[in-house]
Amino acid sequence: MPLEEMVFGEEISRQEDEASGWIVAHSRKKQRQDFTPGDSPGPSAGHRAARPAHTKGPINKLIAASRLPRLPKDHYRVVVRPKGGMDVRKVSGIKVTQALVMAACLGPPQAEEDIVCANEMQNIFVISTPHARNAEAYAKVKQIRVGETLHEVSTYVTPPGDTCREVVRGIDPELSDDRLGELFVHARNPKVLGVRRIKKTPTVIVLFDGMKVPNYVMCGTNLIRCTLYRRQIDACRTCGKLGHRSDVCPTPTVITCPDCGISSPPENHTCQPKCSICGGAHPTADRACQSRYQVPYIVRRRRRRRRKANKQRAEFVPQQAPGLGFNQGGGLDNPGRGAGHRSRSRDKSASCARIQQEPTWAERVGPKRESRTIVQRQLPEQATARIQQLERENATLRNELQEIKA
């Protein structure tokens, strides 16, 4: 079945990201290919994330600020979503890391290779670990104690790197997870790493290995259409800000009207809805908003490569083949000379002498035309002196040979 990329995706519920994760998909991907260990984050890696060189507009800046620093590609990533109004910008990162390790029942030697970083825009923590057992332990954490405060958290494992997700609808809700794996993960779908249902809905998420996804996927013996997954821009309906969701809002006591954005709105107030994403006359991130989706990474990469190729084609100037140039008189330079002739020709003088070329028979019997001239380049002075010396030596040897014969 031919593979081709899709430009447009299909929205799904945000509940998809709140499941346990893709630990099995990580294992399958590691078995299919040899991983190259990612670079450990150094001083420069912490300040330079994988983001576009030019970000224009508030939404693009918001998306760029939500990206994480460069982390090892072969690690498991666990997202920790703190609840109860925890602000990741104000809490101590060291205390949170210690609380996560203790809640996961891991010792310091077991967690010494793990990396914990905060995403201030989304108000979450991300754990990067090379060990599957650590990822499973972190994914089971339900609450952490930071100082004297107990915070509830939700955790899940993200899909592995260099993968794409697609949405398949119309799958029977009564099918178990094991049965879904049997229907999708088999030899007829060589790129499928895993499948997961969105709670009890007939919609499932299929994870593909690589950056090219098919238009159709085999579900057992049925060929079913699938569409590219698109992530929505996070919008909080509590404080009205973009970048995080309501369950991890750092200021849950600040109430804002989700339609018009007025702070502390009175009861039964009348307002004019205005979207914070596109500015349209509808609530923020409403289904009517066409700008609430992020462009998938594979689409951004394809567009970036296409722009680069167009730029290279525009800047490309066909160069003249070596040894096949036209001279000043309209004649074709002799291409039969060797490389030594080409190397010596660089040292030749730019001055030229024009001589008349003998007319051909067709030119003699045909109408009169202007005589063509060819260019004969003069030799440099060093070459002329060398030729004269060789001529004198040749004359001397010729005289000696005649004397021997006499």
How many residues can be counted in the chain?
406
Take residue 140 and report the two structure tokens written for it.
């089971």
pLDDT the model gives residue 271:
83
pLDDT tens-digit readout, 307-317: 888 888 887 75
The greatest distance separating any two alpha carbons of the chain, rounded to the nearest whole angstrom, comes to 133
CA 88 centroid distance within chain: 28
pLDDT the model gives residue 356:
52
**What distance in Å separates the CA atoms of residue 143 and residue 340, rounded to the nearest whole number?**
78
Show the DSSP H helices in 177-223 as ranges: 177-184
User: The tokens 């299919």 sit on which residue?
Assistant: 32
Give the residue among 163, 246, 174, 248 at the shortest CA–CA distance from 209: 163
pLDDT tens-digit readout, 72-96: 888 999 999 999 889 999 999 999 9
pLDDT the model gives residue 366:
61
pLDDT the model gives residue 320:
45
- pLDDT bracket for residue 381 (50, 70, 90): low
Give the pairing of strands 192-197 and 149-157.
Answer: unpaired
pLDDT the model gives residue 184:
95
* CB-based contacts of 301, cutoff 8 Å, min separation 6: 211
pLDDT tens-digit readout, 248-258: 999 888 888 87
Backbone angles phi, psi at 155, to 5 degrees: -130, 150
Show the DSSP H helices in 113-237 as ranges: 132-139, 177-184
HSE-up of 208 (CA within 13 Å, CB side)?
25
User: Is 273 in contact with 281 (CB distance < 8 Å)?
Assistant: yes
pLDDT the model gives residue 238:
85
User: Is 164 in contact with 208 (CB distance < 8 Å)?
Assistant: yes
Helix, strand, or coil here: 124?
A: strand
Q: What is the mean pLDDT of residues 34-38?
A: 48
**What distance in Å separates the CA atoms of residue 253 and residue 85, rounded to the nearest whole number?**
8
pLDDT the model gives residue 179:
93
- Helix crossing, 23-32 with 132-139: angle to 10°? 170
pLDDT the model gives residue 360:
66
**What distance in Å separates the CA atoms of residue 64 and residue 58, rounded to the nearest whole number?**
10
Q: Which helix (H) or strand (E) holds 46?
A: none
pLDDT the model gives residue 346:
47
Amino acid at 8: F
